[in-house]
Amino acid sequence: MSEITWSDFEAVELRVGTIVEVEDFPEARRPAYKLKIDFGGELGIKKSSAQITQLYQREELVGKQIIAVTNFPPKQIGPIRSEVLVTGFYGEDGAVTLAVPDKPTANGNRLA
């Protein structure tokens, strides 16, 4: 594991957002969803894709708060331009468990 500095960490903007729309992403190389996530007034709604189909159904994701990196440059993933990186944890089987706040918080709040 490589070491980073405190200023490296401070440069990463991890913010809370609420998933407002979920679509299947059949064009993806690995099973994934297309997401629209509301980060509140300053950032608004951003698009992303996430390989979380093993543990989550579309219906249960709408309204769920997640933690995402919001200051990466946009990245083209097939037909979608991903604007944020949704975070999660890999299980031993490769399935991704979303990183989420344990209590509701305002969209756009930054990780302390």
pLDDT value for 13: 97
pLDDT value for 47: 98
- The CA distances from residue 81 to 30, 39, 100, in Å, are 16, 17, 23
pLDDT tens digits for the chain (112 residues)? 899 999 999 999 999 999 999 999 999 989 999 999 999 999 999 999 999 999 999 999 999 999 999 999 999 998 999 999 999 999 999 999 999 999 999 999 999 8
Residue bearing tokens 């070491």: 3
Specify the DSSP class assigned to residue 110. B
DSSP H helices, 24-65, are 58-61
pLDDT value for 111: 95
Pairwise CA distance, residues 16 & 68, whole Å: 7
Q: Does domain 6-104 correspond to CATH entry 3.40.50.2300?
A: no
Pairwise CA distance, residues 2 & 50, whole Å: 25
pLDDT value for 59: 96
Domain boundaries, the chain: 6-104
